[in-house]
Amino acid sequence: MEITSYRITPIAFADPPLRAAFGLHAPYALRTIIEIETDAGITGVGETHGGAQVVEDLEAVRDLVIGRDPYQLNALEALIWPSGDHTARTSTPWTGALRSPARTFGAIEVACLDIIGKATGRPVCDLLGGRVRDQVEFSAYLFYKHAGAGGRFGFDMNPAATGGWSAALQQEALDAEALVVQAQAMVAAFGFKSLKLKAGVLPPDEELRTIALLRAAFGPDVPLRLDPNANWSLETSQRCARQLQGVLEYYEDPVDGKAAMAQLARTVDLPLATNMCCVSFEDIVETFQQGSVQIILGDHHFWGGLRATVELARICRVWGIGLSMHSNSHLGISLAAMTHLAAAVPNLTYACDTHYPWQDEELIVGGKLQFQDGALAVPTTPGLGVEIDQTELARMHQQYLDCGLTHRNDEIEMQKIEPGWAAIRPRF
Ligand SMILES: [Mg+2]
């Protein structure tokens, strides 16, 4: 089989004004869609981070992809992400240093696995060793936010959304009480059984109060996670840990960097997790030797694809490190890939993060994937089990061109509502 066509399409879709340590989400989130066609008439799809640099990286390898056999992933990886070449880092404001070759190859690998799955009549999880579970659990991802739905509605409410989650997702949530209302609406709509709070936004005591109210509202059987995105000092992290001990399932990136996380780990009795200080295989030795974390949040989009993340899982298992899953704003192709991956990794025992409920738009045929009791059923159809609606893809591409955004910058968005705001870390 030979790859005959390689299409890279940048898209934008509405994203509500969510807050994080880096600032504010823009009215549109950016993603990139990969479509790879073969001479067998089979097309595979992938989805990855968005913006001009991502498109440039993917276009740069066009000649390496065309004419290749999609089954020969090792050969393709050697071309796109050669071992030993660890110089090409792309710095992003939200996850630190990400390797662009890992991201580029990962996106292409997912599309190739979709092709192989379709050619062999097997779901992608079967290509990763087969499923160890039929349902993949996801976690509610809670954000402090301003009123509005993003997109053309910006900071205004969408008048068409009159009930359920689509109305609730537009509500302002800038204190503990409002956050609990948001959590209740999200859990009622999707059935999530664990809750993650994006922190590092309000003064820490208000965020601790939010955790306390969530615990009171949902009870001790609903695991809670807190992610200040390295926006707390070591001292603040230690002080807050005393109140979070026995309450949190894990404490995600309160401080910045492997060394500070290791220092924190020695002084607190809470499992520490990261998607910031350990984001590539080259980070592993130092992270594990220092004892910086007990849990890694993997993400096939920047760890180098689905097979690389399976390898990460085995390394974690050997070292007794837990594995959870990180997310950015994304659509259904990414969610399907995450679900196949989670289905095939025995030690991915934490509910996965997902931003999916925050996105109203979708470009897969049949519309948004549906959570049942906080979980997605692992697809049984060949490949990823999702197809692109070309009309929606074209519309979202036009939206990308029209919105004028070419890369994510939460600091600039924040300055639009708070002039002079700077993304200094640690803020607290
Ligand atoms: Mg995180």
Query: Average pLDDT for residues 145-157, to the nearest whole number?
Result: 89
Q: For 141, which DSSP code?
A: E
Domain boundaries, given as residue ranges, for the chain: 3-123+389-402, 135-377
pLDDT at 85: 52
User: What average pLDDT does range 80-85 have in this prediction?
Assistant: 70
| pTM of the model as a whole | 0.96
Q: Does the 135-377 domain belong in CATH 3.10.310.10?
A: no
Ligand 1 center–CA 393 separation, angstroms? 29
Average pLDDT of the chain to the nearest whole number: 94
pLDDT (average), residues 152-181: 88
Q: What pLDDT does residue 160 have?
A: 75
* pLDDT score of 264 more than 90: yes
Query: Which residues, 6 or more positions from 82, have their beta carbon under 8 angstroms from its beta carbon?
Result: 101
416 carries an active-site annotation: no
Confidence band of 95 (pLDDT split at 50, 70, 90): very low
Cα diameter, the chain? 60
| 186-214 pLDDT tens trace | 999 999 999 999 999 999 999 999 999 99
pLDDT at 161 over 80: no
- Identified catalytic residue from 49, 326, 330, 355: 326
Supply the pLDDT for residue 93. 43
Q: How confident is the model at residue 98 (pLDDT cuts 50, 70, 90)?
A: low
Burial bucket for residue 52 (CB in 10 Å: 0-12, 13-18, 19+): middle
| Distance of alpha carbon 183 from alpha carbon 385, whole angstroms | 30
Poorest-pLDDT segment among 153-167, 231-245, 257-271, 403-417: 153-167
Take residue 389 and report the two structure tokens written for it. 């609606």
- Residues in contact with 388: Cβ distance below 8 Å, sequence separation at least 6, in sequence order: 33, 35, 45, 333, 363, 364, 365
Average pLDDT, stretch 129-135? 98
Q: 102 CA to middle of ligand 1, Å? A: 19
- Mean pLDDT over 420-427 rounds to 94
In angstroms, what is the span from residue 379 Cα to ligand 1's centroid?
27
pLDDT band at 159 (very low <50, low <70, confident <90, very high): confident
In the chain, pLDDT over 90 holds for what percent of residues?
89
Output the CA 97–ligand 1 centroid distance in Å: 13
Q: Minimum mean pLDDT among 75-89, 194-208, 300-314, 342-356: which range?
A: 75-89
pLDDT digits (tens, 9 = 90+) for 238-253: 999 999 999 999 999 9
Q: Name the fold adopted by 3-123+389-402.
A: Enolase-like; domain 1 (3.30.390)
Is 86 designated active site? no
3-class SS string, 218-238: HCCCCCEEEECCCCCCHHHHH
Alpha-carbon span 293 to 311, nearest angstrom: 18
Instruction: Output b/e per residue, 183-216; b: 16+ Cβ within 10 A.
Output: bebbbebbebbbbbbbbbbbebeebbbbbebbee
User: CA nearest 223: which of 253, 189, 196, 191?
Assistant: 196
Does residue 99 register a pLDDT over 70?
no
% of the chain exceeding 70 in pLDDT: 96
Query: Is the per-residue pLDDT at 94 higher than 60?
Result: no
Buried b (16+ CB within 10 A) or exposed e, 167-176: ebbbbebeeb
With H, G, I as helix, E, B as strand and everything else as coil, classify residue 324.
Answer: strand
Asked whether residue 136 carries a pLDDT value surpassing 80, the answer given is: yes
> Which pLDDT score, from 0 to 100, does residue 83 have?
65
State the pLDDT confidence band at 272, using cuts at 50, 70 and 90: very high
Of 198, 258, 300, 330, which is the active-site residue? Answer: 198
Pair of tokens at residue 397: 């591409």
| Cα 278 to ligand 1 centre (Å) | 11
d(CA 307, CA 109): 9
Q: Distance from the CA of 98 to the center of ligand 1, in angstroms? A: 14
Backbone angles phi, psi at 262, to 5 degrees: -65, -40
Of 207, 317, 14, residue with least CA distance to 196: 207
Q: What is the pLDDT of residues 318-334, one digit of tens each?
A: 999 999 999 999 999 99
